[in-house]
Amino acid sequence: MAMREGTTVDACDARLSNAVAGASEWLVVVDGTRPEGWLLIEWNGKPSKPDHPDIADVFVREGARGRGLGTLLVLEAERRVRERGHSRVGLSVNPEENVAARRLYERLGYHHDGGEPYLDGVYDGVEDWVIDLVKDLG
């Protein structure tokens, strides 16, 4: 498995610590022994949106894309969020560099919350500007 360049060991350690403490949950799709995709549910949201869980780090391996794994992961995350009694979930996406992901999320019922784009981080030496999308699970 590869990490995005620019992801620090401290960031990975924090993600693992949160999962062990129950503040987050990893969902992983495996084909045999190979991870094909994953996402992270942050149960306490993100610092700017602590009022609902947040889906983060959605990834499907390039060779596995187009088979519905992203949809499967997001729908399972939504099911788990509902199961815990939440009626809303959010996620962020780069609207210019990740058009396919944004289309997927909008097809699944997510919409832009109206906020301005913000810097999520610098990966592979490139700034990643994202917007927040939300979905009411009602």
**In which band, very low, low, confident or very high, does the pLDDT at 138 lie, cut at 50, 70 and 90?**
confident
Which pLDDT does position 8 carry in this prediction? 62
Q: What is the pLDDT of residue 5?
A: 47
Ranges of each domain in the chain: 9-136
The tokens for 43 are 């149960």
Give the pTM. 0.87
Q: Which CATH class is domain 9-136?
A: alpha beta
Q: Is the pLDDT of residue 101 over 70?
A: yes
CA 107/CA 101 separation, integer angstroms: 10
Give me the chain's average pLDDT, please: 90
User: What's the confidence (pLDDT) of residue 103?
Assistant: 96
**Contact residues for 20 (Cβ-Cβ < 8 A; gap 6+):** none
- Give the separation between CA 103 and CA 110, rounded to whole angstroms: 9
